[in-house]
Amino acid sequence: MQGGSRREFLRLSSGLGAGLLAVPAIARSAQSANDRIRVAGVGLHRGMSHIRSLHAMAQAGENVEVAALCDCDEKTSQSAAAQYEKMSGRKVPTCTDMRELFDDKSIDAVTFGTPDHWHAPGTIWACQAGKDVFVEKPGPHTIFEGRQMVEAARKYKRMVQIGTQCRSSPNIIEGVRKAQEGLIGRIYMGRAISFKIHGNLGRHKPAPVPEGLDWDLFVGPAPEQEYSTFRKTRWYWLYDFSNGDMANQAVHQLDIIRWAMQLDTLPTKVQSMGGCLVHDDDRQWPDNQTFACQYADGRMVTFEHRNWYTNREACFGSKEYLWFGPILERGVQNSVGAILFGTKGYMIFNNYSSYHSFLGPKREPGPSKSLPGGRSHNKMDNVHHPNWIAACRSRKHEDLSADIEQGFLSTAPAILGNIAYRTGRTLEFDPKTERFKNDPEAAAYLTKEYRKPFVVPSDV
């Protein structure tokens, strides 16, 4: 693990201008209801949903403003700026390097929709620069990064919300509350599933870097490597940039399970297996994978993802109960959800806005709440972002629906599962020390080497 600080990061950077050589003062420590909160967006593919949500808030009378747009691909940032100007009538500045935003004292907060490997560096440096943060899930790329993100948020008193939008869904909140109140008895197990259709992803074919793309910034803390369209567009399936479907999708469902079961620590035992079983392409993370973990009190949580034809589970066969609706080919539909098993029945949370319960040996329908057609996580931003902005005003991280610490606790099991997959064995984990027990090979995956100057510091 390489140490360092944002000061070292800035000192080592070159060609960025003298204005970035000093760490800016912490932004104002309190926001009144009349203060305008100026937000910059970084990573503008997924991040454009953040911008649309913030714009909707401004239209509804909330004193919030999109201040700048940033993406390491100029074409993407310029396209995003054009979209925003069309929807708002306002032009906003753009940049390709997020570091240009940190020294701007007029910017109060930053949202991150970048690839996963940039979540921790961006969040920590933004906190150090006095900015509140909205960061997409999965929060960290490693266990070390997750703990550092929490430490940075607390040290600099920043409001850091993670993009687990279910935490802000009124129906999910109601269902979790009923589970905690004992609707299905003592919950002894949770199961998360993600069944999707993903075709062949293709091959890595080195090519010249396209004009306007800063490939060095895209790679960032990852090892230096050649550009290819595959790496740029399929980063989600590559070790250096992501934790695959195990983390990207599972975090939503694992978060609901952990929340409902009131699991406020990390598991003690993890195991996982899987592989690239369907397509012959250059992805690294499995297209099919199973995971199981056990907590200190003996309760279990499992997750399974399949990326080809499969039955449905946690679905009822109509669009009302599905997560995405028809997708990709021949009307095939995704099946994504979380199932809680209790001594008096079971509950299904099968999209971002629905829950259903079934009680007793005859599985009699119990309380439920859903929205026709369901609701995607993009639409749930319209509920999740207002919660974040409200906490930016109150300056109480307890007001956040999905504080970074909760995000870390929900991302960590997925990361641990991937470590179990890569080592090929069941692993014993100490949740107090956040270390594996007598397993140097597994321990090596708890952090990673960082390419300077993109270093996650050991002391935030």
353-408 pLDDT, tens per residue? Answer: 889 999 999 999 999 998 765 555 556 668 899 999 999 999 999 999 999 999 99
Lowest pLDDT segment from 13-27, 231-245, 262-276: 13-27
**Environment class of 415 (CB within 10 Å of its CB; exposed 0-12, middle 13-18, buried 19+):** buried
169-375+411-438 and 6-167+380-402 share a CATH fold: no
Whether pLDDT at 222 is above 50: yes
- DSSP structure class, residue 297: T
Beta strands in 220-351 (DSSP E): 269-275, 288-294, 300-306, 335-342, 345-351
Tell me, rounded to whole angstroms, the distance of Cα 292 from its chain centroid: 20
State how far Cα 151 lies from the chain centre: 18
Q: Can you tell me the mean pLDDT for 44-57? A: 95
In this predicted structure, the answer to whether residue 348 has a pLDDT above a threshold of 50 is yes
Pairing type for strands 345-351 and 335-342 reads antiparallel
Q: Is residue 314 very low, low, confident or very high in pLDDT (cuts 50, 70, 90)?
A: low
Tokens of 117: 């490997």
Kindly report the pTM of this predicted structure.
Answer: 0.90
Strand 354-359, strand 345-351: pairing? antiparallel
User: Is the Cβ–Cβ distance between 342 and 319 less than 8 Å?
Assistant: no
* CATH architecture for the domain at 6-167+380-402: 3-Layer(aba) Sandwich (3.40)
* Strand-pair partners of 193: 304, 337
Say if residue 5's pLDDT is above 80. no
Q: What is the pLDDT of residues 129-188, one digit of tens each?
A: 999 999 999 999 999 999 999 999 999 999 999 999 999 999 999 999 999 999 999 999
29: number of Cβ within 10 Å: 8
Where is pLDDT greater, at 322 or 72?
A: 72
> Which residues does residue 190 pair with via DSSP β-bridges, in sequence order?
301, 340
Pick the CATH number of 169-375+411-438 from 3.30.360.10, 3.30.300.30, 3.40.50.1000, 1.10.20.60: 3.30.360.10
Q: How many CB atoms lie within 10 A of CB 367?
A: 13
DSSP 45-71: TTHHHHHHHHHHHHHTT--EEEEEEE-
**331-348 CB burial, b ≥16 within 10 A, e <16:** eebbbbbbbbbbeebbbb
pLDDT at 311: 79
Beta bridge partners of 337: 193
Residue 261 has pLDDT above 70, yes or no: yes
At residue 6, does pLDDT exceed 60? no
138 upstream amide cis, omega within 30 of 0: yes
Residues facing residue 220 across a β-bridge: none
CA distances from 231 to 3, 108, 208, 227, 240 (A): 27, 32, 13, 7, 10
Distance CA 337, CA 160 (A): 26
Q: What was the pLDDT predicted at 82?
A: 98
Nearest-5° angle of CA 12, CA 15, CA 21? 55
Cβ neighbors of 21 (< 8 A, separation 6 or more) are 10, 11
Q: Higher-confidence residue: 2 or 52?
A: 52
**Amino acid present at 342:** G
Would the pLDDT of 196 be above 60? yes
pLDDT > 90 in the chain, percent: 79
Which residue(s) pair with 339 in the sheet? Answer: 191, 348
**pLDDT per residue over 409-420, tens digit each?**
999 999 999 999
Report whether 412 contacts 268 (CB < 8 A). Answer: no
- Tens digit of pLDDT for each residue in 96-144? 999 999 999 999 999 999 999 999 999 999 999 999 999 999 999 999 9
- CA gap 319, 326 in Å, rounded: 8
312 or 262, higher pLDDT: 262
Note the pLDDT of residue 278. 94
Return the pLDDT at 350.
Answer: 82
- Burial class, 86, CB count within 10 angstroms (exposed 0-12 / middle 13-18 / buried 19+): exposed
Query: Is the pLDDT at 273 greater than 90, yes or no?
Result: yes
> How far is 325 from 25, CA to CA, in rounded Å?
47
Q: Give the span between the Cα atoms of 367 and 183, in whole angstroms.
A: 9
- Candidate from 5-19, 23-37, 105-119, 435-449 with smallest mean pLDDT: 5-19
> pLDDT confidence of 31, banded at 50, 70, 90?
low
- Rounded Cα–Cα distance for residues 201 and 1 (Å): 32
Q: How many CB atoms lie within 10 A of CB 459?
A: 9
Task: Describe the crossing of helices 404-423 and 143-155 by its angle, rounded to 10 degrees.
Answer: 170
Mean pLDDT taken over the chain: 88
Which pLDDT does position 309 carry in this prediction?
87
Order the strands of the 345-351 sheet from edge to edge.
364-369, 354-359, 345-351, 335-342, 187-195, 300-306, 288-294, 269-275, 427-430, 435-436
Q: What is the arithmetic mean of pLDDT over 224-252?
A: 95
Burial class (CB in 10 A: 0-12, 13-18, 19+), 409: buried
Q: Do residues 95 and 81 make contact, with C-beta atoms less than 8 angstroms apart?
A: no
**Domain ranges across the chain:** 6-167+380-402, 169-375+411-438
Give the H/E segment covering residue 429. strand 427-430
Pairing mode, strands 354-359 and 364-369: antiparallel
